[in-house]
Amino acid sequence: MRSGTKIDGTEKRPRGRPRAYEPETALRQAAEAFWKTGYSGTSLDDISAATGMNRPSLRAAFGDKHDIYVKALHDYWARKFEAMHKALASGGTLAETLMKVYDAALSIYFSGDDQVLGCFVVGTAITEAPGDAEIQRIAADGFRKLDGDFEARFKLARTRGELKPDADPKALALLASATMHSLAVRARAGSPRTELRKLAQKAVSVMCG
């Protein structure tokens, strides 16, 4: 949101020269550049071209290259979990819900204009993780959250009688996450979307008994 924008539409613009970009849009465009070529493979000139901002403006708005990437990474997780929670909250059987979650993920993985980019985290953060404690922590936190959300859904399924009483929600959640990781990796390796959807369906059918 532009700092001078008000809800009723009355513009209360700040003092100096107005920005020529929208921060949210620019960050999204910067993320797309990183998504394509990775953190190390993307230069500030690439980001400058992707956003239409020149380098000094980029710096003033978002900080240095690492700052931009970390902001983009947080933004990606937020979008991913928003889509996932929407799918989880939409009702339906366990199998239906899981497929909605995977379909939501595939929509993100295949959202590139020309290329298939897979998962932003798996495709870019994982490479940097061993040498960058902050990126590693953000990636790991997201994976843990994913595990927890899946586990909660499997526990609910067990109390509802959708699973046998002796089913192990934690084990099933790890397999559900593993399926997600596999989709993420394989999308970037070039597997077509229809094939990945079938993969998800087979995984769901095993997990649901």
Residues that bind DNA (CB under 7 A): 13-21, 42-46, 53-57, 59-61, 64-66
**CB 76 within 8 Å of CB 70:** no
CA distance to 34, 128, 146, per residue, from 156 (Å):
37, 36, 16
Does 136 contact a copy of itself by CB under 8 A? yes
Q: Does the protein bind a copy of itself through residue 40 (CB under 8 A)? A: yes
**185 belongs to the binding site for a copy of itself (CB under 8 A):** yes
61 versus 77: smaller Cβ distance to a copy of itself: 77
Residue 193, phi then psi, degrees to nearest 5: -60, -40
d(CA 65, CA 59): 8
Residue 191 binding: pick among a copy of itself, DNA, none (C-beta 5-8 Å cut-off by kind)? a copy of itself
- What is the C-alpha separation between 65 and 63, in angstroms, rounded? 7
| Binding partner selected for residue 46 from DNA, a copy of itself, none, CB under the kind-specific 5 to 8 Å limit | DNA
Task: Give the pair of three-digit tokens for residue 199.
Answer: 């993969």
To the nearest 10 degrees (0 to 180), the angle between helices 23-37 and 44-51 is: 130
User: Which residues in this chain contact a copy of itself in the complex, by CB under 8 A?
Assistant: 36-41, 112, 115-118, 122-124, 126-131, 136-137, 139-140, 143, 168, 170-172, 174-175, 177-179, 181-182, 184-186, 188-191, 199, 202-203, 205-207
